[in-house]
Structure 1
């Protein structure tokens, strides 16, 4: 599993959350230049410095695309890839990230330019591997084809949204990519912005995202009400498995054989502790045996439209 740095937490909170994860065996921490206009990278960088962990013991990633408000601060041009990465490394207080993601596809930049730019960053030692985030299967295939033709390093990982409500890209569209390109996944939003925790079934808690003015209308939509009904129907399954709804949602994502790691977001230590217990549920959902297939069939009979 992986921990996404909370964009709003202070260094002290970040240290507490990251330490809890690290002590439990989590060594992968994800970020992006876009998060809070770079403040999330600043917080994580300072937290890592104060924690004093050996750099080689952790896997650190960040994402490049939205780096500023100027015309040259956005996209996947060679210029922004290089300048944006250097700025991210400065904020993170590190010489390199282990994985660098292209945060979205850039229709204004030829994919060949992006592939060449990412390989420049590899050659300079600013990153060890590169990947994509929310690219289409055809865009990933094109990038891999260009890299092969030019004898360059292709993307090795994709970071898509994946949860019980968002499945098509991971389970259908990418089916041709996994073997042909050797792509793994670091998936985000496993709990559908908190809906799969069940915390919104009785209204929005005051400290939750949907309690904010920008999201208050979300709970009134037909889609939200339909999804809330699905979550309610998942509760008996979670009870039978002896886990929380959040743990069920995380374990369901992680049990997909194409998923390398699941990015979980947390703002409280108690959330980290609860989420990590999902590791105990993953074997129960594994497709390796009839028991695991039985549980997955039950879950999918609830979540499939």
Structure 2
């Protein structure tokens, strides 16, 4: 059997989720020879600037895709929410393994719930989408930008720099943090997650039939369908890191539903559309059609024009 080289970002979370995925793959192919190649991306190098200010599309994937194109690696393990909705020619997301928790987690000093935070409290997040939704829920708090790994962000909160922070539940769970650290989980129906939050996307060259077939052993059709609907909506809306946009697809009583979100950064408007259709691409476009009809696309156009 050939040796497979896996490309992964160097961050602790990226390496952990890469190892977890490889373990699940090797449970089906115990003799599989796999090596991880660490790749530093532009997004990893920029640690002192808000990512949305840098032009967010592909910040965490371009260098990895270049290594894939140059055949330095055979597959890339991405957080699917970092992967642009349009794939370069010759590449495919061949596998979406079972999705981790897609919710956003709220952590606060003294376990104070979000609704009970004193006015003027400082809440840290690196996401425009989270910031906009927090401000829509409470305009008497301050949303402050925070970067760094999970440990760094939690330490900044505990030191008093922030009264609370919002993180992806998936990252906390993959890194082994217990539920005790979380004050509350936001309901994904009312606090819409990022597109494909909690999901991994395994990217490889489209012509690597052997690897694509092997990856099917750890592929989740349900999670691939849900994230496809979310990504179809993102693609149509031309959503990027500069736009507070979210999407959450799930099956309800056997029907596939997608809830889409578009907001301005200050949280002053909120457009939420929920639709159902059995085909994920059609569903993503149905939600996008309705967003355009009610004027939400104007927010994206305004933001893109100002860049």
- Normalising by structure 1, report the TM-score: 0.29
Structure having the larger proportion of residues in strand:
2
Higher relative contact order (CA 8 A, sep 6+): 2
Structure having the larger proportion of residues in helix:
1
- Normalising by structure 2, report the TM-score: 0.29
